[in-house]
Structure 1
Amino acid sequence: MNPLFNAYSLARAALFSMDPEVAHEASLRQIQRAYDSRWTRRLIGNAPSAPIQLMGLTLRNPVGLAAGMDKNGAHIDALGHLGFGFVEVGTVTPLPQEGNPKPRIFRLPQAEAIINRMGFNNAGLDVFLQNVQRSQFRQSGGILGLNIGKNAVTPMENATEDYLKGLRGVYPHADYVTINISSPNTENLRDLQSAQGLDDLLAALSAERETLAQTYERRVPIVLKVAPDLVESQIDVIAERLTKHGIDGLIATNTTIDRTTVSALPHGQESGGLSGAPLHQQSLWVIEQFRKRLDKDFPIIGVGGILSDQDAIEKIQAGANAVQIYTGMIYRGPALISECVKAIQAHEQLTES
C-alpha cells in the first residue's frame, strides 16, 4: 500500500476542520504539489493495470474519476497519476459562471455523504480547453472524458445550443464526451430527461457529432449522465432514446434530491445533490433497470456511493462495465482506487473461472 495514501486518515482530520469548499481547493493544490515534485510523484506510482475495452477505448483499469472534482480541467495530469483508469473533468459551460451562493457544500460524516449545490461553477469553455490542451494525460495513454452542460442564464428552450457549443469545443480534445442533463443544481435542467426534451437534444447532438467526425476523422463516443431519481417509465424513455440516437454509453448516476436516509442529520435538509454512501443502493437500482432494457453490451459506467471495494463490485454485479468515484475519495482517500481495481479484477476472474 502506498505510504502517502496511508497517511490520508491524518490529512482528512485537517481537511474536515476546514470549510468543505476550502478543503476541496486545498486538496487539489496538495495533489498537484505531490505530482509536481519528482520525488513524491515516484512514490505515488502508476495506475494499477487491469485494462478493459469500453466504447472502443482501452482503459488502463475500470475505476475512473467522476466529473466535479476538477471542473476546469486544471489538474488532469495530477489526478490521473493517482491510479485512475480514466479521468472525467467538468462540468464546463460555454460561458464562465460563479455558480450558486456560498456556502454550497455540506458534509454529513455520520452518513459518509456530501450535499452540494455548486451550480456548475466554472471558468468557461475557453479556459477549460486551454487547461485540457496543456495536459499530457492523453498523450501518456490516459482516457479523458470531458463533461458539458448549459449555462444557468440560458433559457431552457435554448439549452441545446449550449450543448452544441460545448460539443464543438471539446470534441477534438476528448476521448469521450459526457452530456450532463442530470445535475439538480441548475434550474429545470432535469427536464431534459423527459421524452421530447431528450429526443430533441440527442438528435441535435448526434447530427452534430456526424459532422465533427468527418471534420476530425475520428468518432468520439457520446455518453449520457442520468439522475438517480428516475421512475421506471422515465428509464424506459431514456433507454429507448439512447439506442435511437446512437449514444455510446450511460453514466448512472448523478447526485440525488432524495433525503430519506439523511433528513434527521445535521445539514440533512440542505438543498442540492446528495452523494456518498446513501446514494449507493439507489444508483444500483437505476443501473439494474437500464441493464434490463439495454443491449447486454451497451456500456454503463456506475457511479454513486462507492466507498469500499465491495461497493465497486456491487456496481459491476448490477450491470456496470466500469465505475467512477468522487465522494468516496473524500472519505477514504486515494487508496480506494487501487482497492476497487483489485476487487473488480478478482471478481471478474472468479466470474470467468
Structure 2
Amino acid sequence: MYSLALFGLLATAASGHMIMNTPEPYGMATLNNSPLDPSGSDFPCKQRSGVYAVSKMNTMAAGSSQILSFTGSASHGGGSCQLSLSKDKEPTKDSKFKVIKSYIGGCPGAGAGNSGGQNQTFEIPAGFPSGEYAFAWTWFNKIGNREMYMNCAPVTITEGGSDDSVFEALPDMFVANLAITTCKSAETIDVVFPNPGAFAQTAPSVEKGNPTGDCGTAAGGPPSAPVPAPAPVAPPASSAPAPPAATSQAPGEFAQRPTITMTAFVTVTGVPPAATSPAASAPAAPSSGGKSPCTGTGLLCNGLFQFGLCDHGKVTWQNVALGTTCENNAIVRKRSVAFRG
C-alpha cells in the first residue's frame, strides 16, 4: 500500500509544473520540470548535464504557422510567456535572444489553478533569416512563488531572409525573478512585458500588471532627432543670376575647384516589401494603444522614421536607428559622398 502511494506521489511530481513538448527541447533525457534556479546559475536553458544534446532538429519555415505544446498539469493559474530565438546554438548568459511572440495571460493554460497546459500557435516572422537557432520558451507563472521557467530547443529556419534586419528589429527577451536582475513580477497578475514586440497576443479577461525593478525599456516614444535635409534655396525672383566675374590667372596657376557634396540613401536591409494590397505600403498613423491596422505581413514604413512588422492585421511602430530612414518598406542608411568638380 505504501509503495502504491509513493508511486502515485512520484508520478504526480513528475507530471507537475510544465515542460515544453513541441518544439522538442534539447537534452530531453536530463530535462526536469522545475523553474530556473533563483540564483540564475542555470540561466539560460536550465544549464545541466547534456543541456544541449539534440534528440530532434525542429524545422520551421519563415512565415509558417507552428504549434507550441506542453507536458504537465501544474499551470499555476497561467501567466505570461515569450518565445525567442538566439543565433547561439549553445547559448550562454551573454547570448542575445530576440522575441518572436509574446503571450500576455493565458499561457501555458487559461484556467484557474493547475488546469494543465494548452496548445498555442505562433509564426516565424516572414523575412526572418534562415539558419540554425536556439528556440526558447520562457514563462512567468501567475500563482505561486515568483519564478521564471525556461526550456530551449534546436530549430532550423528555412525559406527566410538573407540578412539580419528582421532579427535585429525584434525586442530582447524579458528576464525577471532571478538574482541576475532586479526585475520582479507580482503574484496573481499576468505580467505585461515592457516591450512585447509587434507579435503579441493578450488573453481575454486577464488580470494584467506591470513588473517592478529594472525591466528594460518600453517600445515606442518619439523618434530620434533626425538630421534635417537642407531646404532648397530658390534664386531671387527679381533678377537673373549674375555671370561670374572675370579673373586673371598666371601661367601654371590653377583656379580652386568647388567641392560638391551629394547625399545618397543606400538600402542595407534587403527585406522585400510584403506582397499585399496597396494599403500595406501606406499604413495609418498609430492608434491609441500603440497598434494600427495593416494588411498582409512583412516590414512596413510609417513615414521616414518609424517601421513595424504587420502581424494578424496589426502593427506596432518602432523608431528607426539614428542615421537611417524607412523607405519603400526597407531600412536605408544615409551616406554622403564628396567630390571635386
TM-score normalised per structure 1:
0.26
Which structure's residues are more often strand, by fraction? 2
Higher relative contact order (CA 8 A, sep 6+): 1
Larger-Rg structure: 2
